[in-house]
Structure 1
């Protein structure tokens, strides 16, 4: 027993020391790029190789960063929505080849013919030619009424009346938040549950992760404040600000602790290593590598003879990024509570350093 305790202490100490080296580098990046809070982790399928929380909850507060802090992960929500849908595909509720209008035949009456044969797979991989709805130059959207699911259904009916975008040999997909709304409508239809209920079932009840929606609460408890960038200045945004990611929540509206997000990424790493867990290993392979370019919630990225699943996310006030090295089976996660060019630059520098030191 004594030997095991000594070995465990040595492992923790060596990991702590190695982590401290990167903590100093990461904090210098944070400060030089004016990022209020930066948390990061490097993980394998079974271990946390390094983890740190640096900085402050807000530029206007002295609350120090902790590993209990929550971050809005923006479009990294897509990987979680695709994961959730995959579970119900495994359960036989629908197939990746299921056609959207097989479930919603009434919507076909007003839809553009180009959409008649779109499938669940095409929607989740951005190959359905759906308008992007990324906040810039979006078509004007009617003011839909009802609960979130009812609004998504009305939005989906509206989306398929719009002209499709162009896909060609050089651009095989067009990134679309609205496409994830249509995919979510399909799983809501066959399960009889809303996306919010399905997220709660899969991530909170089944996997015991502490998933919440919209921005982290920072008025009742001490937690992160997202920061917008206006007039060349970061401005902290309170969680009670009137903010709604209407109609496209499944594409980008989850908040989570880094420690819980690690568990989600580790499931993916183990699956890519060939281990069945909450999903089958074959499902993980299809999610990550089944489709060239953009698979199901993940970009396929190839760097220096390595191949990665990667994704970033922001709703304008937080910026997060995750990458999985699919050869060495190492995951890299960086969470920040600001979004501007300086934030992106700092995150890229830290990610490059971590990949170099752990992946070489």
Structure 2
């Protein structure tokens, strides 16, 4: 699960006609076919409106000659777009007074400080979420294969993983920014400590119980029937990845292992759009501003680019079998969401072309 957030140019956004909306679906379907993406689902939304949404294609590539079975109720793996959701959960705990953005790992686990690399002693929760803590990336399966075996349940394993990562040499960069999945696991361990709940329990509580947002952890076809399969290249041939395939995002689930359908994901993004427009909801408007703007380039699960002419936020995610992308135009308070069940380079290019078409449709 590599770093994936892409900021593109700003377009003026206006209402599109229903005729053009139908044309947009045709264009998206053509792009999907051209780039061999089995299925995409997409939406253009504001804080209180769904301007356009749709689904195109098939759950599996070998169904491409059959009638489309794509649905806006299909679940897609969000990959690293999970990061913003884990940051959202952290913000809730900060507002509840259980932790601060300046809390360090060793404030909560002082017994581990002696064995840690001193470079990490002052790294804060904000640093881990904004990729400024200098911890190793763990964006590839190869890195995780070199890890020792951690015993216990998921929460205990994450804590042991966090402690291990903080003994390693730091990753330096000219601007202090080093993208890291491990940083999000360390942050999640801190949230688990102050709440006395696992990341899984916190996600269920804050998303489903409080907000009615449904999700699953892991691939859709491992959790639900009749769902999209992920796709990857095997010897240059696109293959559907079965749920039994031996691949897990163990230890870094808080960085990238949630799946949702676009209907539920829209609910989450619209909360953020309301917050960015100054409307407090489950979080205060001030907190939403912090999540998106607390640091340049990358804040709390969101990339950002602000100039006099534009204000853009975005993030992409992929575990190699799915690809998700969300872009928010901060000037017009409009979001563009595309979810695809393929993680290939072609799929990523298709998604970027679809974004362009969606934005053009709003001119």
TM tier relative to shorter chain: over 0.9
CA–CA distance in 1 between the matches of 2:110 and 2:224?
Answer: 45
Map residues 1-360 of structure 1 onto 2, 5 A cutoff.
Answer: 16-61=18-63, 62=66, 64-135=69-140, 138=143, 140-168=146-174, 171-217=175-221, 221-301=225-305, 305-358=309-362, 360=363
Structure 2 unaligned spans of 5+? 1-15
Give the SS at the match of 1:66.
Answer: coil
> Residue 19 of structure 1 contacts residue 51 of structure 1 at CA under 8 Å; is this kept in 2?
no
CA distance in 1, matches of 2:224, 2:357: 37
Aligned residues: 344
SS of 1:328 mapped into structure 2: coil
How far off is 1:95 after superposition?
A: 0.4
Question: What's the TM-score once normalised by structure 2's chain length?
Answer: 0.91
Structure 1 residue 240, shift from structure 2 partner: 3.1
Query: Does the Cα contact within 8 Å between 1:308 and 1:325 map onto a contact in 2?
Result: yes
Separation (CA, whole Å) in 2 of partners of 1:136 and 1:165: 18
- Contact 1:219–1:238 (CA under 8 A) maintained in structure 2: no
Shift of the 264–176 alpha-carbon distance from structure 1 to 2, 3 Å rule, reads same
CA displacement at 1:303 relative to structure 2: 8.3
Q: 1:191 to 1:271 in 2, by over 3 A?
A: same
State whether residues 39 and 258 of structure 1, in contact with CA within 8 Å, keep that contact through their aligned partners in structure 2: yes
Instruction: Note closer, same or farther for the CA distance 1:240–1:198 as it changes in structure 2 (3 Å cut).
Output: same
* Counterparts of 1:350 and 1:75, CA distance in 2: 20
- CA change 1:141–1:219 in 2 (3 A) is closer
Q: Structure 1 residues 193 and 122 mapped into 2: Cα distance closer, same or farther (>3 Å)?
A: same
Shift in Å, 1:350: 1.1
The whole-number CA distance in structure 1 between the counterparts of 2:20 and 2:108 is: 53
Offset at residue 290 of structure 1 (A):
1.3
Deviations 1:211-264 (A, max 9, x none): 110000368621100011121111111223333101110000000000110111
- Give the 3-state SS of the residue equivalent to 2:47 in structure 1: coil
**Partner Cα distance (1:109, 1:218) in 2:** 41
- Using the alignment, how far apart are the partners of 2:91 and 2:56 within structure 1? 35
State how far apart, in whole Å, the 2-side matches of 1:55 and 1:211 are.
Answer: 22
Deviation digits for residues 309-345 of structure 1 (CA, Å, limit 9, x no counterpart)? 1000000100000011001000000000001111111
Alignment correspondent of 1:7: none
Distance 1:18 1:81, change over 3 A: same
Distance 1:328 1:129 in 2: 35
Q: Flag structure 1 segments of 5+ consecutive residues without an equivalent.
A: 1-13
Over aligned residue pairs, what C-alpha RMSD do you find? 1.6
